[in-house]
Chain A
Amino acid sequence: KNEVEQSPQNLTAQEGEFITINCSYSVGISALHWLQQHPGGGIVSLFMLSSGKKKHGRLIATINIQEKHSSLHITASHPRDSAVYICAVYSNTGNQFYFGTGTSLTVIP
């Protein structure tokens, strides 16, 4: 049983397209994180959410606690956005992180 489900697994977009990645979770959480991983392994934390919505540049993250669902949106996508995006939730009952399997995004010029 996966505590965190992400969709889609793979996504190819044309430069400039609006992109949405979805994350659903089944455990009680105190925080949800969106991570970006480039080839080579380095991981960068994009957002930490416990409620509502956050925006950073062209990236927007939302969370609906009641529905146990979060979305990551990328507006005006660019080839440099090509990476794997990972949803991670911090379970306040298990006191640990659970991770989605990641969404591999390729943006074509």
Chain B
Amino acid sequence: KAGVTQTPRYLIKTRGQQVTLSCSPISGHRSVSWYQQTPGQGLQFLFEYFSETQRNKGNFPGRFSGRQFSNSRSEMNVSTLELGDSALYLCASSFRQMEETQYFGPGTRLLVL
């Protein structure tokens, strides 16, 4: 089975722009979660999608949003980028429940200038 894939792997944007990141889960997995990792804050939970619905949400501002498609692929969008949004963005998939074993993608490294 193919693992979790994320595109793009690297991205450079400027302040004020918006960005869309993509995640394809393992085949058959329906739960997709997104995380932000920075040197200062470590790993933080953004949100989780299941069956095209946002099921859980972390403590991030509304500039961070996401969606999930019927094939379980997910996208996350960050609008009005700030310098502090520079981070590694990871997605992970699990079969049904977020608390099950999660399989992580390689991440998208975003640099905001």
Interface residues of A (CB under 8 A from B): 30-31, 33, 35, 41-45, 48, 86, 88, 90, 92, 95-102
Contact = CB atoms under 8 A, between A and B. Distances in A.
Contacts of A98: 45
Closest 10 pairs between A and B when the two form their complex, measured CB to CB = A90-B99, A99-B43, A43-B104, A31-B99, A95-B56, A96-B45, A97-B45, A41-B107, A101-B42, A48-B101
Contacts of A88: 43
Contacts of B100: 31, 48
Given A31-B99, A41-B88, A90-B98, A99 B42 contact: yes
Nearest to B88: A41
B104 A42 contact: yes
Contacts of B42: 86, 99-102
30 contacts: A30-B99, A31-B99, A31-B100, A33-B101, A35-B104, A41-B37, A41-B106, A41-B107, A41-B109, A42-B106, A43-B90, A43-B92, A43-B104, A44-B104, A45-B101, A45-B104, A86-B42, A90-B98, A92-B99, A95-B55, A95-B98, A96-B45, A96-B56, A96-B58, A97-B35, A97-B45, A97-B98, A98-B45, A99-B42, A102-B42
Interface in B48-67: 48, 55-58
A92 to B, nearest CB: 8
Contacts of A99: 42-45
Interface in B10-31: none
B7 interface: no
Contacts of B103: 45
A16 B7 CA distance: 39
B86 interface: no
Contacts of B98: 90, 95, 97
Contacts of B104: 35, 42-45
Contacts of A90: 98-99
